[in-house]
Amino acid sequence: MLDLLVVATHPDDAEISVGGILAKAVEEGLQVGILDLTTGEPTPHGTEEIRQKETSWASLVLGVQWRENLALPNRKLEASLDARRAIANVFRRVRPRLILAPYHEDAHPDHIRASQLCVDARFWAKLSRTDLEGEPYWPPHMMNYFSVHLRIHPAASIVVDISGQIEKKMESIRCYESQMSVGRSEHFPTVMDDIRDRARYWGWSIHAEYGEPLFCSEQIAARRVDQLLA
């Protein structure tokens, strides 16, 4: 059973968008996992073997306890019933309290499909009298993270302070050498500069050094008033 499950369309999406939240959740003693939907290949400088090694290193850096890959079709991801079933089966098995899923608005079609798949699979996971595996389960919380492909200014529902985790986040992203450095310009701003500066911007928005934003289409409950003082 996981406290937090990040659903990532491609290996490296989780680290880029919520690597700080993942590292912080592990530090807080939570059970944390990542479900990668595709291998991310083909890309200009990667292979499936290289990507698997890079993903394992990044997982070690973050300290996540659970990670699997459904090997759905990269670049051609569809919000199909088979894909929905595969994800719902995972939700029923690992029973996450909070799911972090891709935001619905994105430049990458795979991310858009993945966002819809998470909504659909969350609903299916609670069904009884189905051919799904395991017992019915309704993941109580679902929020969305933003991808680097999205060159708009999204409105965040909440920003998590990752000032103490920024270096671990960047280290986890550097593990994806085939995606982050091979064949890329070394002139400022690099893709790593973009990711770090974006985290700095969100940190600025909450009077912190670094932050990661999340969007929630549902109401966020406060069980105690002092939660509003954080």
> What residues line the site for Zn ion (CB under 5 A)?
9-10, 13
User: How far separated are the first and last CA of the chain, in Å rounded?
Assistant: 27
CB of 67 to Zn ion, least distance (A): 16
CB closer to Zn ion, 3 vs 41: 41
CB closer to Zn ion, 108 vs 196: 108
CB of 113 to Zn ion, least distance (A): 11
Task: Please list the helix, strand and coil fractions of the chain in percent, rounded to the nearest 5, in that order.
Answer: 40, 15, 45
CB closer to Zn ion, 43 vs 89: 43
CB of 10 to Zn ion, least distance (A): 4
Give CB contacts under 8 A, 24+ apart, made by 167-172. Answer: 168/19, 168/20, 168/23, 168/61, 168/62, 169/15, 169/19, 169/20, 169/23, 169/199, 170/19, 170/195, 170/196, 171/61, 172/15, 172/19, 172/22, 172/23, 172/58, 172/61, 172/62
CB of 221 to Zn ion, least distance (A): 30
97: CB partners within 8 A, 6+ apart: 2, 3, 4, 139, 140, 141
Helices (H) and strands (E) in the chain, counts: 7, 7
CB of 149 to Zn ion, least distance (A): 7
CB closer to Zn ion, 10 vs 168: 10
> Among all residues, whose Cβ is closest to Zn ion?
10
CB of 209 to Zn ion, least distance (A): 26
CB closer to Zn ion, 132 vs 214: 214
Longest dimension (CA), the chain: 57
CB closer to Zn ion, 10 vs 67: 10
